Structure 1
Amino acid sequence: MRTVVFDLDGTLADTSGDLIAAANYCFCDMGFGDVLDVQADAGVALRGGRRMLTEGLTRMGRFDEATVDRFYPVLLEAYRANIAEHTFFFPGALEAVDALRAQGYGVGICTNKPEALAEQLMQALGAREAFGALVGADTLPVRKPDPEPLRETARRLGGDPAQTILIGDSDTDRNTAKAAGVPSVLVTFGPSGEDMAALEPEALLEDYAVLPMVVEALIGRNS
């Protein structure tokens, strides 16, 4: 089976609103109030919890690695408690997933979000059953950009890791696919979309409606 593997945050769904709310919960607990802005800091949010804490503390002139370590579990718990309040799938994402499945592709998720949180989010959004496998940041001893999580996702789908393609939104995804020796498609509608062309992926995606055609062309070329 040929497989298509998606990143989650910033690729399938815009999760930045709930991530920033969790980070600001921590900053309020520190006495700083809301440090991160939902619009301006969406790109920071999609880099993960530690990145948000580091960015906020640095702005306040209070960065300290021990503080990041102490509040990271607090952030995760705050996020877990309100994981799908503001999160939404990008237009056409699930329709593209359905179309790929109908064409016989195995479809999965490979994310640097902790596996339990990724599972919880997909269940909360009612879309977990659309994906045949989900590999998170802590599923294996390594995480993206190491290629093994991508390969493991393909294997769990019953596919050949050499016959897969990664859909993502960052240099991490580009480097993961490159390390695995497979194509990557980077979306341009996320917070960092304007930076994707410079990463020179095999394709850029502006609209999920054309993804099945892009996938067919790239995996056919890679066969």
Structure 2
Amino acid sequence: MQAAILDWAGTVVDFGSFAPTRIFVEAFAEFGVAISLEEARGPMGMGKWDHIRTLCNQPAVAARFAQRFDRVPSDADVTAIYERFMPLQIAKVAEHSALIPGALEAIAALRAEGLKIGTCSGYPRAVMSKVQALAAAAGYHPDHVVATDEVPRGRPGPAQALANVIALGLDDVAACVKVDDTLPGILEGRRAGMWTVALRCSGNFLGLDWAQYQALPAARLAEERERISALFAPSRPHYLIDTLAELPAVVNAINARLARGECPQAQ
């Protein structure tokens, strides 16, 4: 393996992926339109403008918007919500910026095996710069970072993952693994021709903080793993794990498969 391309919120920082979801709720509320945290989580992984557009396309959300404004939300309305979302996100992202337990240790183990660490996010650069600075202060220094507005099209397209390949000087996408907690992020890796690893418990689909996750009874956790695995199924991840702490073992397994001549595109 040459590199791991890691997502940010719900993967390396912000256990439960709370920073973006709660701000979507607040931004819509400022326009007099109520959305639930569960609704806000639905399109997670997309760039934030596309995320808001997708939310506005949902019939229930569009109906609430129409009740408030007497029209369905246009692209101009989406942009207005996005422009309110951005300063809220920049101001509040630090509230949910802690590194996920076990992440630094896993990344150190990957580096010890010679892997480079690329990253990408649904955050635009204005937010990503703040998240990156907070993570650096906590000891996380990836080799490259690609924000969603630094490519022509974000997730689920492959551009951000492939931008990492170019910047890091890698010579084989099949020697890369993309790790994410969302469907668009796994599709990104698939479309980039990489191995993909979906995170069940640290991210968007479980939607719990670390303490809540730790307190889950074993039977309930097993049920949640099964539910989340089914949610990921359409994106066809090569591996499903709970948190990034399990990634080094997966990389060892992928190395064995590469040695046998297997490639991710054929799996």
Query: Normalising by the residue count of structure 2, what TM-score does the alignment of the two structures yield?
Result: 0.71
**Which structure has the highest helix share of the two?**
2
Residue 13 of structure 2 corresponds to 13
Contact 1:10 1:46 in 2 (8 A): no
Residue 174 of structure 1 corresponds to 186
CA distance in 2, matches of 1:156, 1:75: 30
Change (3 A) 1:47 1:212: closer
Shift of 1:57: 4.2
Residue 206 of structure 1 corresponds to 242
Aligned pairs for 1:80-159 within 5 A: 80-125=90-135, 126-127=137-138, 129-159=140-170
Residue 216 of structure 1 corresponds to 252
Of residues 196, 208, 213 in structure 2, which corresponds to 1:184?
A: 196
Alignment RMSD: 2.7
Q: Sequence identity, in percent?
A: 25
Change (3 A) 1:204 1:20: closer
Shift of 1:134: 0.4
Residue 30 of structure 2 corresponds to 29
> How many residue pairs get matched?
220
Shift of 1:111: 1.8
Aligned pairs for 1:33-112 within 5 A: 35-38=34-37, 40-41=38-39, 43-44=41-42, 46-47=44-45, 49-50=48-49, 51-52=51-52, 54=56, 57-58=61-62, 60-62=64-66, 63-65=72-74, 66-112=76-122
Change (3 A) 1:26 1:175: closer
CA distance in 2, matches of 1:115, 1:68: 19
What whole-Å deviation, never above 9, does each CA across 1:104-132 have from its counterpart, x for those lacking one? 11011022221332121121233575200
CA distance in 1, matches of 2:84, 2:145: 24
CA distance in 2, matches of 1:128, 1:146: 30
Contact 1:166 1:184 in 2 (8 A): yes
Shift of 1:220: 4.2
Amino acid paired to 2:126: A
Q: Unaligned stretches of 5+ in structure 1?
A: none
Q: Unaligned stretches of 5+ in structure 2?
A: 67-71, 206-227, 260-267
Shift of 1:99: 1.5
CA distance in 2, matches of 1:115, 1:222: 34
Change (3 A) 1:78 1:176: same
Contact 1:97 1:130 in 2 (8 A): no
Shift of 1:37: 4.3
Specify the SS of the correspondent of 1:71. Answer: helix
Contact 2:3 2:177 in 1 (8 A): yes
Which structure has the greater CA radius of gyration?
A: 2
CA distance in 1, matches of 2:106, 2:117: 10
CA distance in 1, matches of 2:12, 2:240: 14
